[in-house]
Structure 1
Amino acid sequence: MTVAPEQMKQEAPPLEPQAALGRFERVQFPYKTLNGVDFEVAVIAPKTVVASAAKQDSPLLVHFHGGGLVMGTVLEPFFISLWPLELAENHNAVIISPSYRLMPEANGADILDDLKDFWDWVHKDLVALVKSKWSHITINLDKIAVWGESAGGYLALQSAFLFPEASIKAVMPQYCCMYTDLVEYQNGGVDDPEAHALLDKFVAGLKPGSVRVSSPFPENLNLVLAINRTRRHLEFFGSDERLSLGHALQVAEKIPPIWVMQGTEDRLVKKEAMDQMVARIRKAHPETPLLYSVQRGDHGFDTDHGLTEPYIAEGVEFIHKYWP
């Protein structure tokens, strides 16, 4: 069953994450420019930390936004969950969230190139830039954890698999199994002429070299739903082998601990696909600690869940063994 736009609007999450974001101070820095478009990184720190005069050695939480790699923006209030914000507050951590190229203007290989450029920027420029804004805060790059919802979870996992130079200590992806070689994720499309026509029209109207890095909800939600309904993911993703789970598991020498979560009633990312992904990771890298949290709920079920939710508390206890 495909989620209709009106359903997503009616099922909009409560305001807890938006209220929590108000407890952070925010700045933005570009990590690169392409065709005249700045790729921004949102940087937020708890206001209690910013207001303190004490020197602060802050762990880092890196967030990748969801939206099917087609929509979304940095720290999108509609998508982001409450629990990582509370986690950051508990540890005086700084959160950063990068923009990246979106499909169909870009393909999956382009997005991976953005990831590489982002991680290079993190280890080269982030510490000095944060100090230029908040002189008493030092980012500890030995204490990096990453998370992301949906497509953002996919990018969090890809960061851990493909970029060992990122020095990630823990990964917390949510309902994220978008790999090109996961049969359960790619199958199930329907022949919907209206959805196909919408996608074809959008692609036909693209200008060569166009770059899009932000589409706040609900902008381009119709594209996400059309791609999901027709299962035309591979057409826009591309065939770069780096996009597949098989390649990622083959090249990754050491994978950081993973806490992954999934809803049993997810209509956008099937639980069966996540089961398949988790099983393949465990088989290829049995030495990697992996906690798989399955809960009742649809896509985004955890948005308003805080640290006191029992399964969140269990997951955070698991993560605390490795971060910060």
Structure 2
Amino acid sequence: MAIRPHIKHTHVYTTHQATDLHLDVYITQPVEPKIPKPIILWLHGGYLITGSRNAIPKWLLNYAIAHQWPLVSPDYRVLPESTGFHTIEDVLSAYTWVAQSLNQLHPECRADPTRIIVAGASAGGWCALVSALHFSTPVDTIPSPCALFLLYPMTDPGSEKWAQSVSLPGATVDPDTARDLLEDIPRRIARGDISLGEEFPKSEEELRTRKRLPLLYAILEKGVFLDYLTGVVGFGQKVLSGGLTEAVEERAKQLFPLDSGEFGSSFPPTVVVHGTADGEISCGESVKLVKKLEEVGVGVQYLPVPGADHVFDLELEECPLAEGDSEEPGAVLSRALQALRGYANE
């Protein structure tokens, strides 16, 4: 099945150094035009280095269209040309646009800005988590998210794993290419280059044309991911030698939600889905988040997918209503969507 019929509108939501950042708004003509609908703000994955706003799970987009929920997917600045601070700034700007401008520009979609679900996969889950923590201090003019939906999220970049060399399953880059890519990064930063990521490949032929994936592999294998997340050379080594607490300064604490986030009972209800055999981002990161939320009384549902790896949902197009206790990926995702409907008062 293809994507259900819909209308896509594209807008510029912010600009940095003459680089426009866009977001796509997916809407349908409402069958019930007088009934306000929840909004999904979708944040793509890609280790904060690659990916694009087009990387929306088919099953999620089809669900949003079928239920007449507007779905918004923005660009955001990525590493290593930018830092995690820039990513957070963009994600919050996109959230503000959704809360303040979506209904003004598209009144036909009947979006309810008091019911924004912030959702993200992998590194997009990190984006969703840090943006929700921003609202731990209420913002008078902008409603807080009504729920979070985190799909195999990166939640714990402060752990030692991300401070040292990481080799992704099946991902390789030859040493000479890695060296050239890493040596070019300081020049990109000095020029003030901005990257918004890159489309994920859909075939082996496309894979050979991609430039961001080898850069991603080189950064992870060199063990400098945290250096570029924080903008501090040698940050990862400081974490390994003295721990995150010794390495992190006050401003950078927002980049490490599990270690420094101020979770409280007002944190939005959260649904987390993670494969138990994830070879890229351990489901243990999700378990740590769920435990922290449970400790402070936040409504949270953790739905593990037995034996599933990272991006286990890539080929799914629909999530039919789950019956019984099936542990098939589509059934687990269907239960997750039902939980979100409850949190969004649908």
Fold match by TM threshold 0.5: yes
Counterpart of 2:149?
A: 172
Give the match for residue 128 of structure 1.
104
Tell me the equivalent position of 1:42. 24
> Cα distance, 1:149 vs. partner?
1.2
2:298 paired with 1:319: no
Closer/same/farther in 2, CA of residues 186 and 281 from structure 1, 3 Å limit = farther
Q: Is 1:216 matched up with 2:199?
A: yes
Are the counterparts in 1 of residues 268 and 298 from structure 2 also a CA contact under 8 Å?
A: no
What is the alpha-carbon distance in structure 2 between the residues aligned to residue 313 and residue 181 of structure 1? 31
Match for residue 304 of structure 1? 315
1:194 deviation in Å?
4.8
- Indicate the structure whose relative CO is greater, using CA pairs within 8 Å and at least 6 residues apart: 1
- Give how far 1:243 is off: 0.5
Q: Which runs of 4+ in 1 moved over 6 A?
A: none
Is it true that 1:93 corresponds to 2:69 in the alignment? yes
Which consecutive residues of structure 1, in runs of 5 or more, have no partner in the other structure? 1-15
Question: Would you say 1:144 and 2:116 are equivalent positions?
Answer: yes
- The residue aligned with 2:205 is none
Distance 1:54-1:120 versus aligned 2 partners, 3 A rule: closer
Range moving further from structure 2, 304-313 or 270-279 = 270-279
Q: What does residue 117 of structure 1 align with?
A: 93
Aligned mate of 1:57, from 36, 42, 45: 36
Q: Name 1:103's counterpart in structure 2.
A: 79
Per-residue CA distance 1:133-153 (angstroms, 9 max, x = gap) = xxx332111221121111111
- The 1:213–1:311 alpha-carbon spacing in structure 2 relative to 1, beyond 3 Å, is same
In 1, are the aligned partners of 2:303 and 2:332 still within 8 Å (CA)?
A: no
**2:166 is matched with which residue?**
189
Percent identity between the aligned chains? 23
Equivalent residue for 1:25, pick from 1, 4, 7: 7
Q: State the distance in 2 between where 1:297 and 1:151 align.
A: 18
- Residue in 2 that maps onto 1:153: 125
Tell me whether 1:163 sits opposite 2:162 in the alignment.
Answer: no
Q: Residues 44-69 of structure 1: CA distance to partner in whole angstroms, max 9, x if unpaired?
A: 113xx26x695563321110011111
Look up the match of 1:11: none
Report the Cα distance in structure 1 between the residues aligned to 2:164 and 2:275, rounded to whole angstroms: 19
Contact 2:91 2:131 in 1 (8 A): yes
Superposed CA offset, 1:46-105 (max 9, x none) = 3xx26x6955633211100111111111122xxx32332232123211100111111111
Which range is displaced more, 100-109 or 22-31? 22-31
- For residue 135 of structure 2, what is the amino acid of its counterpart? F
2:268 maps to 1:242: no
Give yes or no for the alignment of 1:228 onto 2:217.
no
* Separation of aligned partners in 2, 1:248 and 1:87: 34
Q: Would you say 1:200 and 2:182 are equivalent positions?
A: yes
Q: Is the contact between residue 228 and residue 268 of structure 1 (CA under 8 Å) also seen in structure 2? A: no
Contact 2:41/2:117 (8 A) holds in 1: yes
AA aligned opposite 2:342:
K
**265-274 or 166-175, which deviates more:** 265-274
Provide structure 2 residue ranges, at least 5 long, that are not aligned to the other structure. 137-141, 168-173, 202-209, 231-247, 321-329
Q: How many residues align?
A: 295
Judged with a 3 Å threshold, the aligned counterparts in structure 2 of structure 1 residues 137 and 280 are, in CA distance, closer, same or farther, namely closer
Q: Conserved in 2, the CA contact under 8 Å of 1:83 and 1:312?
A: no
Change (3 A) 1:137 1:88: same
